[in-house]
Amino acid sequence: MTTCHHDADLANLPVDGDCDVDRNLLILYATETGTAQDVADRIARECRRARFQCRVCNIGSYPPERLISEPRVVFVVATTGSGVEPRAMTSLWNSLLRSDLPSDLFEDMEFAIFGLGDSTYQKFCWPAKKLARRLANLGGRELCTRGEGDDQHPQGVEGALDPWIEQLIGKLVDLYPHDGLPEELSESRLPPPRVKTVNVPAETECTYPLATDQRYWDVTVQCNRRITAEDWFQDVRHFEFVSERELNYLPGDVAVIHPSALASEVDSLLASLGWDITADDPFSITHSMKDQSLPDHTPQVTTLRILFTRYLDFNAVPRRSFFELLRWFSTDDMEREKLDEFVSSEGANELYEYCQQVKRTVKEVLSEFRSLRIPRDYIFDLFPPLRPRQFSIASSPKKHPHEIHLCVAIVKYRTKLRVPRKGVCTSYLAGLQSGDTLRITIQKGLISLPNDPLTPVICVGPGTGIAPMRAVIEDRIHAGSNATTLYFGCRSASKDHHYGAEWDAYAEAANITYRVAFSRDGAPGTKRTYVQDLLRLDKERVWQLLGVQRGVMIISGSSNKMPAAVREAVMEAAELGKMSAKDAEDFVSMMEREGRLIEECWS
């Protein structure tokens, strides 16, 4: 069994020779938050019970040209923003869209797809639906009906996942029958751990693979400055990182940062699990169940303290798979009974109310089940990986050579139980001091600017959606353009007008046209004004820029109601071009197909 990781060398990806080739299965996942990876691991475990040998691989690490040689592939595809595929999937998707591909390219491939999404959004599971259509158009044969996991389901994605896995395995077993099931993988037994750990001498040096990954490099903190008012409820920071290397990123590209958990929280967790005494004892890690994934850059020699600081996320809200495994480690009958109830079909609503609804964390759950005795070998099975976070870069290297700027909202809130919460990565960033160093890399973003600086560009970026727009504007001004219009929205001119002085100065110099909506600064009782309202007020000019001059619109920010409302405003503008409502809708769709309507949104 073979698994792939972001940092895996795929040049000689092995397939074990002792397995019937008809029982090999590749599972590719495209994830942003980790749910798709968790689902992929779950599918692999269940397929293992049916004697199928799985390889689980991040779709961003898998060479697209190798897909043609795969006989059976399961795709697990998340949805980001307003119906966009995860960044890791973009390369594969673009290769599949080539017009010169033959219609029988995948005639020897059987595939199945499970999508993840939120049915409150119009383009629910859109990337999964598009992938299914495209693979079928290229000759692929769908093994079973596409599955669609819905965040709004009372049981979350598991509400659709469980019956879909049964359907998938049933189809596979019918097509590729095999005698018997391995006794050790019976559902009545504890599944084997994905790693084996062995104590090593105390003087053994721990490894840190991220330090030697050539795709990452060191940057030094030059600035960590709050840009919202001190008395404002939201803490938004401007960060500046300096690098010795030449930086050639583009507007829309993202910085990838690996966070570290707070030392005080790590200490508290280790003590609660009885691991504080051995927290700094080194041990080796061997990946034994290779159909299950491990965190990126998992070290070969490490300690429990290091793992919970850099690799494992105890502040995540656990999924049902967490409780399915946790019940094996309880030594108290009443606790075991409660955990059994949680993972039963009858207990799904109770588990939702206990965990997801109130955002109870892994650490908090563990503190309430006091009889737990967790074997060290199972920590990667029980705790989700501490994932790197992606932040849109808020600068252009043409104006700020050797620098990367970020605009980040520090995550702080209270749950429905009034328990305070902090984001792991944003708390890590907030604690950085001038002169601190961290490892960083850059990933290609979704924004593509027109080559001609005279082509109009409309930027719509309320809140911290302003980050990539700042990069766009700096890049365009450097190219000599004055054809950029910025629509920015926030609550108050005096509280959260991010980079307001810069925009005013650019507008004064006629470098940009600037339109801003302060939604809470109006007189009491008056209707609040948002960016979409300004677009409607400016619809004659919007049509001139987008319809007549064939300009580009870029939307960035939260993927709540804003992106859809902006699209509706553009449709209203298009009706000025003597279009019917249907033609106006088609016009917006055409802009998107032509790359003239770009969304860089997040949920």
Rounded CA separation 192/330 (Å)? 17
Q: Please write down the HEC assignment for all residues of 530-576.
A: CHHHHHHHCHHHHHHHHHHCCCEEEEEEECCCHHHHHHHHHHHHHHH
The residue behind tokens 């955002």 is 359
pLDDT value at residue 84: 84
Rounded CA separation 287/157 (Å)? 28
Q: Please write down the HEC assignment for all residues of 149-208.
A: EECCCCCCCHHHHHHHHHHHHHHHHHHCCCCCCCHHHCCCCCCCCCEEEEECCCCCCCCC
pLDDT value at residue 4: 52
pLDDT value at residue 181: 52
Q: Please say if the pLDDT value at position 251 is more than 60.
A: yes
In order of 452, 487, 541, 585, the CA distances from 571 in angstroms are 25, 17, 13, 6
H/E stretch holding 403: strand 403-409
Crossing angle for the helix pair 158-175 and 35-49, to the nearest 10 degrees:
40
Phi, psi of 557 (to 5 degrees): 145, -165
Write the pLDDT tens digit of every residue in 333-357. Answer: 999 999 999 998 888 889 989 998 8
Q: Please say if the pLDDT value at position 310 is more than 50.
A: yes
319 closest CA partner among 337, 338, 342: 342
Rounded CA separation 430/391 (Å)? 14
In order of 15, 44, 461, 535, 583, the CA distances from 53 in angstroms are 9, 8, 46, 54, 50
- What is the chain's mean pLDDT, rounded? 91
pLDDT value at residue 515: 98
Q: Please say if the pLDDT value at position 476 is more than 60.
A: yes
Strand boundaries in 299-366, DSSP class E? 301-302
Query: Taking the model in full, what pTM does it have?
Result: 0.89
Write the pLDDT tens digit of every residue in 111-154. Answer: 999 999 988 877 899 999 999 999 999 999 999 999 999 988 87
